[in-house]
Amino acid sequence: MLQHNVLKRLVYTILTATALVTLVGCATPSRTQISAFGTASASLADHSKKAYALVDSSTVDRKMYDVASDTKLGPTDSTFQGVFTGPQADALAIRLKLLGKLGDYADALNKLATADFRKDIDAASKDLDAALVGLSQTYKTVSGKASPISDQDFQLIAAAVDAIGTAIVEHKRREAIRMVILQADAAVQDTSKLLKEELGESSSLASFVHENLVYTGNALRLTYNKQRLAAETTFNSRYQMLVQIRQLDEASEASPGFFKNVSAGAGKVGEAHAVLKKAVTKNEFTSAEIAKNIGELVDYAKSVKAFYDSLATTDKK
Amino acid sequence: MDTLRAGISDVVNTLNKLMGNSTDPDEQEQIQKVLRVLFMLWEEVIRQEIDSSTAKYKAALDALSKAEKTAQDAIKDINKVADAIETAVKAAKAVDKIVKVVADVFA
């Protein structure tokens, strides 16, 4: 009998398609909103990485099921190779780095908004600088376009953060946050747009994953049809295969929903950051619009996280 | 269907449906062989930067379009499965003239 960890990992994709709930916007303190943005987008960046990983893992799973369903085939090195090899491995690596830097930025912004002591502000400042440099450089590599954050922007951010002072003067912290959000917005918008398009429900990568999963199920159907007439098969063994086929069918049907959520979440990162930018420009940190946008972002991140948590839990069984 | 990626995706999608609808293992194996090659080509098309302005590219798109139509017909009429496989093989060969990875498979 085949080892069906792949089923365990994939069948819970169904959860992602239905996990969204409507959020009601409400006015909350500004630092809480920024903190929520930081946490949610860091989480979303992490899970977008897993969407790329799913492209590779579904490819390898498809090949393994293919070999297992054909007694004339044996495994070779290529059986265990995903799509992202050779030059594509570099392309994937730079995208994963870009996602990581987006997460780092959000995390550092969160720290800046919540730090209680000067040493924490200094640490947040260092993280922020590294994240923005990385975000800027990796975006430049991926897109081939000029860096969205100039050296002058970095200097403005550093000066604003430094001005917060030893005793953490609150209005200066707000000014530093304002400066960071304004200067980083172009890089966040460009990154968000790139991910939204590349990982969309109708994207080439989403179609590829979907067809990988359908084919994997078809390899099991073929095996079932070959074995059903054999004398040694039983009702139970046939039934178990049908259960597995059904699980793969459910996973393939749910996979576009997974990509839809990741893409929508990437779009929400851009939208939420744009609203933050608008609010800090007008010095209106506590608008209901911000709360609504960030609430939706948190929700997208939760739905994607729920999918992976389910997979992890099932794998341990 | 204006790119090789989209063209292969459409053909694979239709052949996957055809294979999933069949309960004849011999027929499924025939479809599986073509799908196996199409997936190899699809992976390569994702990896490579391909010039879309060539005559070979246009010929491959046309072949993929025919393959998808024939496979759609076969979903409605089980007697047309052999035709679907034949046109899909032709489409795969047309794509392979561009990406050049699986020529030996068809030898």
CB contacts under 8 A, B 44-73 vs A, are 46-47
pLDDT tens per residue, range A52-102:
788 888 899 999 999 999 999 999 988 998 877 766 667 667 777 777 777
The predicted structure's pLDDT at residue A88: 64
Provide the shortest C-alpha distance from residue B9 to chain A (in Å). 7
pLDDT tens per residue, range A303-317:
555 544 444 443 443
pLDDT tens per residue, range A90-149:
766 777 777 777 778 887 887 887 777 777 888 888 888 888 888 888 877 777 777 777
* Contact status of B12 with chain A (Cβ, < 8 Å): yes
Q: Which of A121, A127, A131, A124 is nearest to A45 (CA)?
A: A131
Q: Which of the two residues, B89 and A126, has the higher pLDDT score?
A: B89
Q: Compute and round to an integer the Cα radius of gyration of chain B.
A: 13
Domain boundaries, chain A: 5-316
State mean pLDDT over A181-192: 84
Tell me if B3 sits within 8 A of A202, measured CB to CB. no
How far is CA B17 from its chain centroid? 13
Q: For residues A179 and A116, give the distance between their C-alpha atoms in angstroms, rounded to a whole number.
A: 19
Q: Which of the two residues, A190 and A75, has the higher pLDDT score?
A: A75
Q: For residues A248 and A33, give the distance between their C-alpha atoms in angstroms, rounded to a whole number.
A: 40
Domain count, chain B: 1
pLDDT tens per residue, range B48-88:
888 899 999 999 999 999 999 999 999 999 899 999 999 99
Q: Which residue of B has its CA nearest to A215?
A: B16
The predicted structure's pLDDT at residue A100: 75
Instruction: Please report residues of A whose CB lies closer than 8 A to that of B23.
Output: 225
Q: Which residue of A has its CA nearest to B41?
A: A83
Provide the shortest C-alpha distance from residue B55 to chain A (in Å). 23
**Nearest beta carbon to residue B46 from set A88, A217, A219:** A88
Instruction: Please report residues of A whose CB lies closer than 8 A to that of B29.
Output: 70, 222
Q: Show which residues on chain A lie within 8 Å of chain B, measured between beta carbons.
A: 59, 62, 66, 69-70, 83, 85-88, 204-205, 207-208, 211-212, 214-215, 217-219, 221-222, 225-226
> Which residues constitute the domain of residue B13?
4-106
Q: Which of the two residues, A42 and B71, has the higher pLDDT score?
A: B71
Interface mutation vs chain B, best among A222, A233, A238, A253, most B CBs within 10 Å:
A222
pLDDT tens per residue, range A95-107:
777 777 777 888 7
The predicted structure's pLDDT at residue A146: 74
The predicted structure's pLDDT at residue A87: 65
Is the pTM of the predicted complex or chain greater than 0.95? no
DSSP for chain A, written as a single string: ----HHHHHHTTHHHHHH-----------HHHHHHHHHHHHHHHHHHHHHHHHHHHHHHHHHHHHHHHH-TT----GGGG--S--THHHHHHHHHHHHHHHHHHHHHHHHHHHH--SHHHHHHHHHHHHHHHHHHHHHHHHHH-SPPSS-HHHHHHHHHHHHTTTTTT-HHHHHHHHHHHHHHHHHHHHHHHHHHHHHT-TTSHHHHHHHHHHHHHHHHHHHHHHHHTTSTT--HHHHHHHHHHHHHHHHHHHHHHHHHHHHHHHHHHHHHHHHHHHHHHHTT-TT-HHHHHHHHHHHHHHHHHHHHHHHHHHHHH-
The predicted structure's pLDDT at residue A290: 57
Q: At what angle do helices A235-281 and A170-198 cross, to 10 degrees?
A: 140
Q: ipTM exceeding 0.90?
A: yes
pLDDT tens per residue, range A232-272:
889 999 999 999 999 888 888 888 887 887 788 778 778 87
